[in-house]
Structure 1
Amino acid sequence: MRNIKQIMKNLLFNNRGSVSIYAIIIILPVFLMNALFIDTMRILVAERQIESSLDAALRSTMAKFDTKLANLGLFAYSGDEGAANGDFQSYLQKATTDSSLSGYNNIAVPNIDMGESSISFDFERNLVDLDVFRSQVIETMKYQAPVQIGTDIFDMFKLNEMSSGDVDNMQDLVDNYEEILELMKKRNNKIDSGKEKIDKFIEEVKALQTKITGKRVTDVKDKIPKNLKTFHELKAYHSRYITLKEMEERDDDEEEEFQNYKASIDSKDLLTAIGVKLYYDDVPLHLIGNNGTLSNPEDSTAKAYNDEIKGMVGTEEEFDDLKSLVIEDSFFEILLNNTDEVYDKLILEENNLDNPNDLSQLSLLELIHYFYNSLLLDDEDLLGVILQAIDDKFTDFENEHFKKIKSEFDKYELIKKELDNADVDAEEEKAETGLSDIFEMLNELKNLSDDQATYNKLEEYVLQYDGAFAGEEEADNSGVFAFIQDAFDRFKYFIEFVEGFPESIRNELYINEYVLANFATKEPYAFTSSDFYKYDTKKGQYIAYGHHVSGMNYFHFLLDITCILLIVNLLDELKRGGFAGPLGFYKAIATAMVMTLTELTSFLDDGKLEWNPFKMFAPSKRFTFTGTMFLRIFLAVKSIDPTYNDGKIRRIQAAASHETNRNLLESPSYIEGHVSGDIKLWFIPQLAEVLPGKVEGNRYKIEKHKVYSY
C-alpha cells in the first residue's frame, strides 16, 4: 500500500518532463494554424488563377464581335454558341497553368486539376434589351456627343428670355382672341334680338298717344257721331253731351247722340294702355334672361356673354385694342331701367285719383282713369289739363327714356360696325389661304410609296423587337386656329426644353447624337427628286417620328419646322403691335403665314435657314439651322417623354438591323462562363472545412462563375 502511494505522489508532484509537455501543448495549435494558413494561401492562389484564366478566356472568346454592328458602335458576338464554347475551351486551356512542380514551389503555383468548364449566352440580355442597347450607345457617345453638338445650340439657348409660362400666356392670347371675337358675335346677335323687342316696345308706347289722345278736333259737328275713340274727340263733344244729359226729354236723334257718347265713356278701352305688356315682357329675354338680373344674368344672354368677354380681356395689355369692343354694364342697365321706368309710368296705380295734387306723378293708366272720371263733370278746363298731362307723359317718355336708349344703341352700332368690318373677312381669308398653301406643299409627301418596301422591313423589325411605336397624330388641318393651337403645343415643348435643359435626359441626348452620327438626315430637302423623302436620305426622320409609311416622317419633320416658324413669326407680330383689334389680329396671322411659307421654302431650296427662334428678344442674332440642327432640336424636345424614348430605341434597333442585315435577337452581348477545378490539400483536410469551399477527401473543390458583357 505504501508503494502505491509513493508512486502516485511522485507522478503528481515530480517536476521532471513538464517543460516538454507544455511545449507540446503550445506548439501543436501553432502547427495546425500554419498548416491551415498554407493550404488557405494555396487555395486563394488557385482561385485567383482559375478566375484570371476564366476572365481571359471569356474576353478572348468575345473578341470575335460582329464588325458590321461595331461600325455602328454596337457590340455583339458574331458566331453561334457552339463555336463560342469551342473557342472558350481552347483559350481556357492555354490560360490555365499546367505545372508539374513539386515541393515548396507548389505554394506559389499550386497544381490545379481542372474540371468541367462551359459557357452560355444570355439571350434575354442581347442588343434588343433597352437597357443593354442604351448602355452601349451611351458609352459610345459620351465623349463624341459634346463635340458633335457644338456650341451653336448652347449659344442659342442663352438668348432665350421666354419661359413656358410666357408661351402659355401667348397661347391663351391667341386662343382667347378667337373665342372673344366669337363671343362678341354671339353677344351682338343677342343684343340685336333684344333691340327688336325694345323697338317694338317703344313703337307700341308711341302708338298709344295716337290711340288714346288722337288729334285735336277742329271740325266739331252739331251732332255727336258714333264711335268716338280718342280723348280729343270726347273733349270736343263733351259740352254737347252735358247739354243732352241735362234735357228732361230727348227726341230720338238726341237720344241716339246721347247714347253714342255714353257708350264711348262706358267702354273705357283701358286695355289699349296695357297691351304693351306683351312686348315689355320680352325685353329682358335676350339681354339678361327672363329670370336673370344685371349682376347674375342667365347663360347664353347678351350680358352673360359680355361678362365672359370682360373676364377674358381683364387687364392684359395685349387686349387693349379689344377693350373698346367690350360693352359697359351701364349699357344693359340703361336699356332695362328705362324700359322698366316707362312701363311703370304706363300702368302703376298708386295715387289717390279723387284729388290728385300733381298730375305728372300719375301713371298713364291713372290719367286715363282720371280723364274718364272727369268726363262726368262739366269742366272743360280739367279735361284740357288732363289731356296736357297725358301729352307731357309721352314727351317725358321720349326725352327722358327713349333718347337714352337710342344713345346707347348708337354707341353699340359703332362697336358692331367695327367688329363686322368687311376687311376682317378678307384678312381671315388670307390667313386661310396661307395655311392652305403650306399644306398644299406638305401634302405632296403623304401619298409617296417609292421606298415603301424599306419601311415595311423596318416595321417588321420593330414589331419583332417588342411592338411598334405609334408615332404622332396627324396635324389638324381643319382651320387656321386649329393649326395655330397645334403649333403652340409643339412650340411650348421646345421652350420647356430650352428653359429647363433637364439633366435627366442627358443620356437621351447622347442617344440622339448617336442617331445623327449613324443615321443622319441628308440633302436634298427640296422636292426636286424622289431622293428628298426616301429613307436613305431621311433615316433620322424615321427614328424621330416612327411612321412606317413612305414620306410621312419627312412630312412631320417639315410640319414641326412649319409650326415653330409660324409661332415665332406670330409672336414677333404681336410684339410689334400686330394685334391691333380684330382686323389687326387677322392681319398678323395672315402675315405670319406668308413669312412662314417664305422661310420654309428657303430652307427647302438651300438646305439651311438663317434664323433666330428668339428674334422677338434678340432680333439681330441669327443661327444657321440645317436639317440636322432642326432634327437635333426635335429629337431633344421629344426625348422628355420616357415612352417616346423606348419607341425611339426600337426604331434605332430596326435601322441598325436594316443597315447590317443582322437580327439583334440573335446577337448576344452577355456571356456567362463556368469553370471547376480542385487542388490537393497538403495537411489535414478536415481543417479546410472551415473555409467556404467544398472538401472531398484530401482535395479542395473550386467553382467559378463570371459574366462578361461588351
Structure 2
Amino acid sequence: MKRFLRTENGTVSVYLILIIVPIFLFQAVLIDFARIKVAEKETESAIQASARSVMSSFNPELQKRGLYGMGLSQEASEKLLNDVFARNVSSGVSANTFKFINTKAVDGALRVTPVYTLASHVIFEEQLLEDMKLKAPIEFTLEIVDKFQKSGVREPFHTSSQFVKDADAIEKLIGQRESLLDEAWQRAEELHGRTTEFHGYYRTRVAELDKFAGEIGIHTVDGVRSEISQVEENLRSLTTSIRNMDLSLASLVQAGPEAAASIRSLAEAKSRLEEQARLLSQKLSELEALVQKILTYTALVISTKLEVAVNERTILQLQQEIEPTLRQAKQKNDEIRMKLTGVSGSSTQANSAASDVFQHVSLMGDDYFYQYQTSIAGIASLFSSFRSAVDGVMLYTSVHTSKVNQANDNYLEVSNDFHAKQSPLEKSRMTTNEATTANKQAQKNKIQAIMDQAKQAIGGCPVSNTHSGDSVAYRKLQGESGYYQRYRQVNAQDTMIGNDVAYDIEKAEPASLRAMDMLGVLNNAAEILRDELYVNEYALTKFNYRTYGLEKDLNGNPKLSNELVDPGTHSLVNQEVEYLLYGFSSCAANMASAYAEMFSLRLAIRTVEALLDPKKELLQIGSPLLVFLAAAAQGAAEALVDMNALVKGDAVELSSKLSTSALKLTYKDYLRLFLMLHSNNSKLMSRMQALLELETGIDLNQATSYIQANATSEIRLWFIPQVMRLLDGTGLLGCKVVGTHCQMNRAAVVSY
C-alpha cells in the first residue's frame, strides 16, 4: 500500500484529467448558458409579437366612434396568443433541421390578463384626446374663438358683469345696514315705550310712599312695638283690677243694705277703670294699625328698590342690544362708503352709464350714529341714576320725594327728546326703503312673467319617444344599477345623478344675477384647457342635440355629420348632449336645464344692452339693484324672442349693440360654451360611456385597451443539468431548472 502511494506511474494522466475536466465542465455550462440567453430573447420577441396580434383584433363598432377596445373574448384572445407564440419560437420551425435551441411553449402557461378597459376614465380620455387632437382645435377655433375675439363684446361684457357684481355687493351691504337699523329702531321704540311706562308707574309709587311716610312720621316699628307692650301691660293691669272689683262687689252685695255706699263707690271706681281700659284698647288698635302701615311702607320701599333694579336691567339690556346693532350698522355703512370709493375710482366703471347710480346711494353720516348711541347711553345712564336715587331713600320726606321724582323725570325727558328727533328720520328712511322695495318687486314681477312664458316654451323632447323609448333608455342609462352608475363605481366616484350645476327659470332675481355671472366666465372662453376642449368637442361631434339636423350651412343646406356613425341615427333622438351636460334621468329635465341656461345667457346679454342706456329717474333713487332689475326686465323680453329662434336651429346675433362685427351663435355653439363653463370631465365621461353602451350594446368593462400577456417557455439542457441547477439561485440564468429543462417566464404589456 505504501509503495502504491509512492509510485509515480500515471502522474501525467491524473494531471491531465485535473486540467481537462474543469475545462470541459466550463465549456458545457457556457454552451447551455448561451442557449438559455438566446431562448430568453426569442421568448420575449415571441410574447411581444403575440400580444400585438391579440390587440390587433379591435372592435369595429367602437373604432367607428374613435375608440379602440379588444373585440375578442378571453378564450379567443388566449387561443390567438398561443398560436402566434408557437409560430414565433424555434420549436415552430421545421423539425428536419438542426436547432441550436429548441424553445417551445409550456402547455397551458400562456395567458392574457386584461389590465385596463375603456371603462377607465384615464384610458377613455386618452383615446378621446387622440381622436380629437386634429378636429377639435379647428372646430372650436372656427366656431367660437375667432368669432368671439373679433366681435368686440369682451369689454362691455366685462364692464356689465363687473357692474352687476358691484351692484349686488353694495345692495347686499345696503340691505344689511337697513336691516340692522330697523332692528335698532325697533329696540329704541321699545326703550322709549319702557321709559314712558316706568315713569308713570314710579310717579304713582313715589306718591304712595310719600303719603305713607307722612302718616308714619318718625315712628319706628320697634318704638311702636315697645309702646304697644307698655299699653298691653297697662291693659292687663286694669283688667286684673276690674276683675278684683267684680269680686269685691259680689261680696258687698251679699253683705246687705248697709254696704250700699261702698257698692256705689266701688262701682264708680270700676267704671273709671273700664273707661281707661277702653281708651287703652283703642290706643292699642291705633298702635297696631301704625305698625301695619310701617310694615307695608317698608315692604313697599323694598319692593320699589327691587323693581327699579329689575327695570334697570331691562333698560340696560335694551341698550346692550341697540349699541352693538348700531356699531354693526355703522360698519356696513363704512363698507358701503369704501365700496363706492373703489367703484368710483375703477376704470372698469368709468364709461358705464349705469354706474351713475352709485353716486346716489344713501350714506349715513358719522354724526347720525354718534347722536343715536349718545342718546341711548344717556337714557340708560339717567335711569341708573334714578335707581341710585331710589336706593338711597328709606324715608320719603318731601326733600327725598322731590329728589326721586326729579331723577324719574330726567330719563323720560331725554327719552322723549330722542324719540321726537329720531322718529322722523327713521320713518323717512323706512318709507324710502319700502318704496324702493316695491319698485324692485314690480321689476321682478315683469321678469317673472316673461320667465313663465319661457317655461311654457321649453319643449324639445321628441313626442313619439317621450313616454316610451326614452324612458326605457334612461332607465338603462341611470336606473338602479344603470350604465352611468356602473362606470362611476368602476372609477371609484360617487353615483349621484345630475350635474353639480342645475339651471332653472323659477325665480326672477337669482336667475338674473346668475345670468350676469356667466358673462365673466364667458370672457375667458378662449382660455379653456386643451384636454377639456377635446373632450367637449368629442361630445358635440359624436352625439346629437336638440337642433341636430335643423342647422344650416352658408348655402342654406342642412349641416351633415362627417362621422362614421351619424349621431342622428342614435336611439336617443336629439337630446344626447343635453344629457351629457346635465345628467338628469329624463329628456324633459335635461332640455329644461339647457333651455334655462341658454335663456339666462341671452338674458344677461340683453340686460347688458339695456344697461348701456338706463332710465335716468331710476338712477336718482340710489339703488343699484333696482337699476339692474329694470334692465333685466327689458332684457328678458328680448331674450325670449332669441330663444324662439335658437331652438329652431337659427343663428342669433350675439349682440347688435355691443359687437363691432357680426357674431352669430347657434344652439350648438351655446352647448359648446356650457360644456366649457361646467367642465366636469369625470361625470361627462361616465355619461358618454353610458351612451356608448346604450348605442352599441358593448360593456366597456369588457372592452380591453391595455393587456398583459404572460408566457412560459422551456429549453432542453444539453449538458449537466445539476450544475445549471446550482446556478439557478444566483439570478444569472433568468430561468428555472426543472428536470432536464430550463423554464422561463416572460410578460408583455401592450395598449392601444
1:429 to 439, 442, 445: 442
CA contact (8 A) 1:519 1:540 kept: yes
Alignment of 1:147-186 (within 5 A): 147-150=138-141, 171=165, 173-174=167-168, 177-178=171-172, 180-181=174-175, 183-184=177-178
Where does 1:440-451 land on structure 2 (aligned, <5 Å)? 440-442=453-455, 444-445=457-458, 449-450=466-467, 451=470
Who is 1:708 aligned against?
Answer: 750
1:70 shift after superposition? 0.9
Q: Which residue of 2 aligns with 1:214?
A: none
Which residue of the partner structure matches residue 232 of structure 1?
none
What is the total number of aligned residue pairs between the two structures? 564
CA distance 1:491–1:550, change in 2 (3 Å): same
1:663 corresponding residue in structure 2: 699
Residues 304 and 337 (structure 1), Cα distance of their counterparts in 2 relative to 1, 3 Å cut:
closer
Aligned to 2:578: 541
Change (3 A) 1:191 1:548: same
CA distance 1:61–1:444, shift in 2 (3 Å): same
Counterparts of 2:602 and 2:80, CA distance in 1: 58
**Residues 27, 507 of structure 1: alpha-carbon distance in 2 compared, 3 angstrom cutoff:** farther
1: distance between equivalents of 2:549 and 2:335? 43
From the superposition, tell whether residues 344 and 66 of structure 1 become closer, same or farther in structure 2 (CA, over 3 Å): closer
Distance 1:61 1:596 in 2: 59
Q: Is the Cα–Cα contact under 8 Å of residues 670 and 708 in structure 1 kept in the other structure?
A: yes
Between 1 and 2, higher relative CO (CA 8 Å, sep ≥ 6) is seen in 2
What aligned pairs does 1:452-491 form with structure 2 within 5 A after superposition? 452-459=471-478, 460-465=482-487, 468-472=495-499, 475=503, 479-484=507-512, 487=515
Cα 1:192–1:676 change in 2 (3 A) is closer
Match 1:291 to one of 316, 323, 340: 316
Distance 1:708 1:404, change over 3 A: closer
- Contact map agreement 1:497 1:637 (CA 8 A) in 2: no
Partner AA of 1:511 in structure 2:
V
1:651 corresponds, among 687, 709, 713, to 687
Separation (CA, whole Å) in 2 of partners of 1:90 and 1:204: 106
Task: Decide whether aligned partners of structure 1 residues 293 and 152 sit closer, same or farther in structure 2, where only a CA change above 3 A counts.
Answer: farther
Partner of 1:692: 734
Counterpart CA distance in 1 for 2:437 and 2:749 is 72
1:419 has 2:433 as partner:
yes
Partner residue in 2 for 1:329: 369
CA deviations on 1:11-70 (whole Å, 9 max, x unpaired) are 69xxx999x999987776666555444433332332333333333333333323221111
Query: Matches of residues 573-588 of structure 1 in structure 2 within 5 Å?
Result: 581-583=621-623, 585-588=625-628
Q: Which runs of 5+ in 1 are unaligned?
A: 206-280, 350-361, 370-392
- Residue 315 of structure 1, CA deviation: 1.0
Contact map agreement 2:362 2:622 (CA 8 A) in 1: no
Distance 1:521 1:120, change over 3 A: farther
Residues of 2 paired with 1:80 and 1:599: CA distance?
54
- SS at 2:107 equivalent: strand
Give the match's secondary structure for 2:715: strand
Give 3-state SS (helix, strand or coil) of 2:635's partner: helix
Alignment match of 1:139 (pick from 118, 123, 130): 130
- Of 324, 338, 341, the match for 1:315: 338
**One-letter identity of the residue aligned with 1:141:** M
Query: Is residue 2:540 matched to residue 1:516?
Result: yes
Mapped partners of 1:337, 1:701: distance in 2: 98
Q: How far, CA to CA, are the matches of 2:18 and 2:154 in structure 1?
A: 85
In structure 2, distance between residues paired with 1:293 and 1:201: 11
One-letter code aligned to 1:471 = G
Match of 1:229 in 2: none
Give 1:124 shift. Answer: 7.0
Paired residues of 1:445 and 1:555 also in contact (CA < 8 A): yes
Give 2:57's aligned residue.
64
Structure 2 counterparts to residues 548-697 of structure 1, below 5 A? 548-566=585-603, 581-583=621-623, 585-599=625-639, 601-606=641-646, 607-611=650-654, 620=660, 623-639=663-679, 644-689=680-725, 690=727, 691-697=733-739
Residue 187 (structure 1) aligned to one of 175, 181, 186: 181
Equivalent positions of 1:232-243 (< 5 A) are none
Letter in 2 for 1:548: S
What does residue 240 of structure 1 align with? none
Question: Would you say the 8 A contact 1:424–1:583 is kept in 2?
Answer: no
1:163 Cα shift?
13
- Of 186-195 and 514-523, more deviation after overlay is shown by 186-195
Provide the rounded CA distance (Å) in 1 between the counterparts of 2:437 and 2:549. 36
Q: Is the 8 A contact 2:154 2:523 kept in 1?
A: no
3-state SS of paired residue (2:547): coil
Match of residue 33 from structure 2: 40
Q: Is the 8 A contact 2:477 2:484 kept in 1?
A: yes
CA distance in structure 1 between the partners assigned to 2:155 and 2:23 by the alignment: 79
Bigger drift between 645-654 and 87-96 goes to 87-96
Shift of 1:177: 1.3
Q: How does 1:63-212 map to 2 (within 5 A)?
A: 63-97=56-90, 98-100=92-94, 106-107=99-100, 110-117=101-108, 120=111, 122=113, 125-150=116-141, 171=165, 173-174=167-168, 177-178=171-172, 180-181=174-175, 183-184=177-178, 187-188=181-182, 191=185, 194=188
Distance 1:508 1:11, change over 3 A: farther
CA contact (8 A) 1:520 1:628 kept: no
Q: Is the 8 A contact 2:54 2:77 kept in 1?
A: yes
The secondary structure found in structure 2 opposite 1:60 is: helix
Q: What is the alpha-carbon distance in structure 2 between the residues aligned to residue 116 and residue 424 of structure 1?
A: 86
Q: What CA distance in whole angstroms lies between the structure 1 residues aligned with 2:415 and 2:78?
A: 106
1:591 Cα shift? 1.1
Instruction: State which drifts further: 555-564 or 195-204.
Output: 195-204
Structure 2 Cα separation of the partners of residues 490 and 121 of structure 1: 50
Distance in 1 between the 2:96 and 2:48 partners?
27
2:587 and 2:635 mapped to 1: Cα distance? Answer: 29
Q: How much identity, in percent, do the aligned residues show?
A: 19
Query: Letter of the aligned partner of 2:669 in structure 1?
Result: M
Q: CA separation in 2, counterparts of 1:490 and 1:464?
A: 33
Question: Mapping of 1:260-409 within 5 angstroms?
Answer: 290-291=315-316, 297-298=321-322, 303=326, 306-307=329-330, 309-317=332-340, 318=343, 320-324=359-363, 328-332=368-372, 336=376
Decide whether aligned partners of structure 1 residues 32 and 610 sit closer, same or farther in structure 2, where only a CA change above 3 A counts.
Answer: farther
1:482-532: CA deviation from partner (whole Å, max 9, x where unpaired): 43565577777x47986985x6xx5444333322221243516999xxx9x
Q: Distance in 1 between matches of 2:178 and 2:589?
A: 40
CA gap 1:633/1:41 in 2 versus in 1, 3 angstroms:
farther
Cα deviation per residue 1:379-422 (whole Å; 9 max; x = unaligned)?
xxxxxxxxxxxxxx99xx99x9989976665555554443333x
Q: Distance in 2 between matches of 1:636 and 1:521?
A: 16
Q: Which residue of 2 aligns with 1:262?
A: none
Query: Structure 1's 343 and 122: CA in aligned 2 closer, same or farther, altered over 3 A?
Result: closer
> TM-score, with normalisation over the residues of structure 1?
0.62
3-state SS of the aligned residue for 1:298?
A: helix
CA distance in structure 1 between the partners assigned to 2:38 and 2:385 by the alignment: 118
Checking the alignment, whether the CA contact within 8 Å between 2:78 and 2:112 is kept in structure 1 is no
Q: Do the aligned partners of 1:61 and 1:84 also contact (CA within 8 Å) in 2? A: yes
SS of residue in 2 equivalent to 1:702: strand
